[in-house]
Amino acid sequence: MLLSRFWYVLLALVLGGAVFVLFLAQSMYNRAGARNMGEALSSDSQFVSWYLKDDARMRSAHLVRFALDSDIAKALHESSKSETEVKGSLRDTVRKALRSVNQDIPEDQAFDAVFAIDQHGRVVAHLGYDQATGMEDFELGGYPVVADALHGYVRDDTLVWDRLYRVVARPVEYEVGSMPAGAIVGARIIDDRFARELSQRTGAAVAFYVNGHRAASGAPEGFDRSNLDQIVSDLPSLGEDEDYQEKGRSGVRQVGGGRLGVQYTRLPGEAYALQAGYVVGRLPHFVATPLDFFKQADDRDKEQANIAVAGGVALAALALGLLFTFLEHSRPLQVFRREAEQLAAGKIDQLQPSKFRGVYRRIASDVNDGVDKVAAQGGHSRRAADLEQVLGELPAQPQMSAFSVPGGDGPSPASGPQLPQPPASPRGPLPAPPSGPQGAGPRLPAPPQRAASPGGGGAAAAAVAAPAQAVDEEAEWQEVFQQFVATKQQCGESVEGFTYQKFRATLIKNRDALASRHGAGQVRFSVYVKDGKAALKANPLR
């Protein structure tokens, strides 16, 4: 099972490496996403600042129409002469003029409120700011943006009244070379519509806040607006941000457990002291798990992937795995199953371990031992096993059946002596080959006789030293030899050159193999006919 195990280890290493690469790619992707998000947030914050200034310049150009209106300029000049009160007729004249000019401004660039202010900072008339309706003493001269306009400057600022406003102010001149007669102030409410315009231009979520509360917010399509609620919860911690306190802009911060990246910027001017500002936010591009790569990949990403190479590698790995499994598992199991079926059918009485490999060889040996023990407990003896079943296919010369015996056994020459054929006895014990006086006919090769040493002392000592089992085994083998030769003759096989010494050497070799394999103390051999040829069976004895 070496190939299969090696393949399992290799696949496990490849799989582990792939998982490691996925986690590594996840970390690198998230880090790159956080860096890109930070750069995008800085760009968004600068864009909002630029947009506020550009919007102020554009709207200040629309204020020129109000400043050049003669009715407005004359009424403001007359109002500035009186330090006590503003005449009602002047208010009506200015209000009518403001309404007339405001109608000519495009709707998308119109002001939410317009104020006409005299030199004393008093609001002579206004449009759109209903909170000041009926207030005779309403004035705006105390704001720096208005004061600068009354002194001839064009200014813009963010003011906090009942709401957050972006205001633009410019002077109104009545006589050349003299102080301005007053000023025109245009205001636009910073509301959700204003925030959505910024969001559409930047692609980021934009929110304005003042005094720790969100004043307006806008988000692009697909952005969960509930994430904007996280902005308010993070506002108290801005006091600990040194960049925000010193530079007016914080670093990139992550709120909501890292689900939203934000950057805060304080609004300049009057609103700065009231902790008013804006925040831009973006959802970070990150993957929570390596599997999220498949969820976030679009069709273009999938088209870039080389499916053919990936599929080829997978199919090659699958084919190799199936091949190794067949060679080391399926095929040996099929061989073992066939042998077990033959054992169950009674065609064989034991498994042949030599046909199996690896663990199946050990299992076959254990099964044979188990069958022997069960048979012994039941009082039955298992019939002798064929040497080829126990030892596997034995090498045989062309005319030999059971196993190879050194020496030639080819057909005898026509002039050579022929051994007598013993009578046929297929079932009963075979008689010993006939012997007669010299000259009566050919004789079987006789077993070798022990040479006697001078005086006979050596033969007696050797007989005493040899174990009784060896003596019995030798006599038994001689008898088996005679029966084997007779059976070969009966089956028409040649016995030319077939001697007891060669036969004995083969029996010893196979006896030792059986004893080593089965732990038998002794092996009995018997002769039988197999496929028309003489063969031997071996019965290990414990």
pLDDT category at 460 given cuts 50, 70, 90 is very low
Work out the average pLDDT over 278-287: 83
Work out the average pLDDT over 62-68: 91
| Cα–Cα distance measured from residue 51 to residue 238, given in angstroms and rounded to the nearest whole number | 24
74 three-class SS: helix
CB 339 within 8 A of CB 348: yes
The mean-pLDDT minimum among 96-110, 126-140, 176-190, 203-217 falls in: 126-140
Q: Is residue 152 part of a domain?
A: no
Q: Is residue 336 part of a domain?
A: yes
Per the rule left: phi > 0, alpha: psi between -120 and 50, beta: everything else, 258 is left
In a shared domain, residues 326 and 390: no
pLDDT of residue 471: 58
Q: CA triplet 495, 384, 362: central angle to 5 degrees?
A: 115
In a shared domain, residues 529 and 405: yes
Q: Is residue 455 part of a domain?
A: no
In a shared domain, residues 428 and 483: yes
Tokens of 56: 């102020």
Percent of all residues in the chain with a pLDDT value above 90, rounded to a whole number: 15
Q: Is residue 500 part of a domain?
A: yes
Which among 454, 431, 426 is positioned nearest to 444, based on CA atoms? 431
Q: Is residue 337 part of a domain?
A: yes
Residue 146 has pLDDT above 90, yes or no: yes
Q: Is residue 531 part of a domain?
A: yes
What pairing do the DSSP bridges indicate for beta strands 522-530 and 385-386? Answer: unpaired
| Cα–Cα distance measured from residue 154 to residue 169, given in angstroms and rounded to the nearest whole number | 6
In a shared domain, residues 528 and 404: yes
In a shared domain, residues 346 and 408: no
Q: Is residue 20 part of a domain?
A: no
In a shared domain, residues 366 and 479: no
pLDDT of residue 432: 42
In a shared domain, residues 331 and 473: no
In a shared domain, residues 527 and 485: yes
pLDDT of residue 154: 94
Q: Is residue 511 part of a domain?
A: yes
Render 197-225 in DSSP notation, one character per residue. HHHHHHSSEEEEEETTEEEEEE--TT--G
In a shared domain, residues 519 and 396: yes
pLDDT of residue 434: 41
Who has greater pLDDT, 226 or 439? Answer: 226
Q: Mind listing the pLDDT tens digit for each residue in 391-407? A: 444 444 333 344 434 44
Q: Mind listing the pLDDT tens digit for each residue in 164-205? A: 999 999 999 988 878 899 999 999 999 999 998 888 888 888
pLDDT of residue 182: 93
Tokens of 137: 């003493």
Tell me, rounded to whole angstroms, the distance of Cα 14 from its chain centroid.
10
Who has greater pLDDT, 77 or 400? Answer: 77
> Where in the sequence is the domain holding 475, given as residue range(s)?
383-412+419-432+465-541
Question: E strands within 80-154?
Answer: 113-118, 123-127
In a shared domain, residues 396 and 491: yes
Per the rule left: phi > 0, alpha: psi between -120 and 50, beta: everything else, 433 is beta
Report the number of distinct structural domains present in the chain.
2
pLDDT of residue 419: 38
In a shared domain, residues 330 and 364: yes
| Cα–Cα distance measured from residue 294 to residue 287, given in angstroms and rounded to the nearest whole number | 10
Work out the average pLDDT over 469-495: 84
CB 4 within 8 A of CB 325: yes
Which among 400, 420, 340 is positioned nearest to 536, based on CA atoms? 400
HSE at residue 388, side-chain half, CA atoms within 13 A, is 13
| Cα–Cα distance measured from residue 541 to residue 522, given in angstroms and rounded to the nearest whole number | 5
pLDDT of residue 401: 40
Axis crossing angle, helix 359-377 with helix 331-345, rounded to the nearest 10: 20
pLDDT of residue 99: 92
In a shared domain, residues 346 and 405: no
Q: 168: which strand partners?
A: 156, 186
Which among 115, 147, 144, 145 is positioned nearest to 132, based on CA atoms? 115
CB 165 within 8 A of CB 277: no
pLDDT of residue 470: 56
Work out the average pLDDT over 345-374: 81
